[in-house]
A and B are shown apart, each in its own frame.
Chain A
Amino acid sequence: MAVVKLQRPKLNFGEKIYFGALIKGFFLTMSHAVKSLRGKSVGAETLASSGLGVTMQFPEQRWDSHLPEYYRGAPALVTDEQGRERCVSCQLCEFICPPKAIKIKPSEIPSDDPWAKVEKRPLEFDIDMIRCIYCGMCEEVCPEQAIYLRKDYLITGLKRADMVHDKKRLYEIGGVRVGLVNKWNELK
């Protein structure tokens, strides 16, 4: 392995006692403090500042309208334009989920159901939001495009049980997604 010898930079006396740098830093900080008091902080507008610096006063103020397009919040299940639940309980998300947050109980769709040809759907689908790390692996692995990370980020509860999103809750958060690949059309 090649050894690279680094030359320490030669410092003059002023730099060696670093007093000048301290003073410089102090003035920089002070200038920002003054700017902040005058409501002129850099990026205050885009970051929806409360007036003092760039700080947003949570929870009175919310991120919601400022969330970027790519924001990834809580994972949730979605239905398609015909109201069909897209998830077929293939359990791939349960398998891939790094902190094992997802628990699925599969079931067979009864033959008198309008979507009987899909054959399979989840009976229970739980995501433990204490465990979820919002990594988005579930969304990526889903072969049916049934699970998406939505914009919800305020997941709170008073009990552990409150933090488990069941199937009903997941569909509430998820809502409808249209225009995705639809493999269960009339040709199937």
Chain B
Amino acid sequence: MTDTLTPVLTDNWDEDRAWTLAAYERRGGYEALKQAVRIDPDDLIALVKDSGLRGRGGAGFPTGMKWSFIPQDNPQPKYLVVNADESEPGTCKDIPLMMASPHTLVEGVIIASRAIRAEKAFIYVRGEVLHVVRRLRAAVREAYDAGYLGEDILGSGTRLDIVVHAGAGAYICGEETALLDSLEGRRGQPRLRPPFPAVAGLYASPTVINNVESIASVPAIVRGGVEWFGSMGSEKSKGFTIYSLSGHVRRPGQYEAPLGITLRELLDLGGGMREGSELKFWTPGGSSTPILTAEHLDVPLDYEGVSAVGSMLGTKALQVFDQTTSVIRAVLRWTEFYKHESCGKCTPCREGTWWMVQILRRLDKGEGQPGDIELLQDLCSNILGRSFCALGDGATSPITSAIEYFREEFEAAMTTPSWELFPPAASTLFAKEGVAS
């Protein structure tokens, strides 16, 4: 049995000046790269494949397999693009990782680029995180100075350049093909597939797109190996991962554990729900994953476990809400987000999210009309599976799941405003402090 928490990615975050090269190397940083430059690229791909590492950006696709799709006989340059757009509501793991230890990501990028034989890599980071952009740029600069980037890395004959690219505010740019369009200097709108990025991605060249945490996990896998990685996690969801706990819990934050830990265990570690509060609903992996309730406290938080109860592990963004929270208000706000972020390319999502907001607004005001619940469900079924990209699908998740578990609250919304049933002041972080003092 492994320990309940297994810090690997977070292990050096409490180091003095952890973001610097010196601090990173003090903790064994770039040792994995030194090993990796002596490993044949195909063997690196096999290693990551065999480790069972699955994408940490939401979909859980096997990372090594994705790398193996890059056609190596294609004469075009190959690219690695790191998805550091982290904008899915609730998701907050990649940003602290890059803030505290940007070199973990940079080392992962260098190894992954060697594996897929890319000589140019991009880190597409959302623009709204100034200090993280600073830390990334400085880490890349330090890595060049140390000979980990540029020509002939550590005498291996391979070369790599990394460009840190700041986005400009658009959730949809986290969708990998929209991200590519954005990185090409266009409006960020999803592309039709095929062709898939592995064949025709950035500049129509073979491209791997991976999440920050996926790539940052690679150095540890190189050092620890397949069995080490597999000694953590569950059978089909191997390894360690960062769970992000937020909301009405006493100690919100980042908890790195083997895949398969439960919310009950995490809440326990997090000091339980805040005083006088009990769990009402939660998201397992961001707002696009159907909400769950207290009956799901013991669901193993791995890909299989969460999908078995009709949701998704997603980004492991555990947003926890207590009994003071109006589910209508929560769902309305998420839906407003999807409406705002819908790129407008396809009709079901563009129009559907707009209509859903209208209906939820009147429900929030206690002015729901007979048939509104069915109308919402009908809209959702017209969006789900009919949109051009997964943003549209995700927009339906909070609504359908909320109706499933809290139908009576939607019914109450025919007559009573959410703020009367659930006065917002009671939900705030400062509510308790205010009462106590």
A and B found bound together = no
B residues in contact (CB < 8 Å) with A: none
Q: What is the interface of chain A, defined by CB distance below 8 A to chain B? A: none
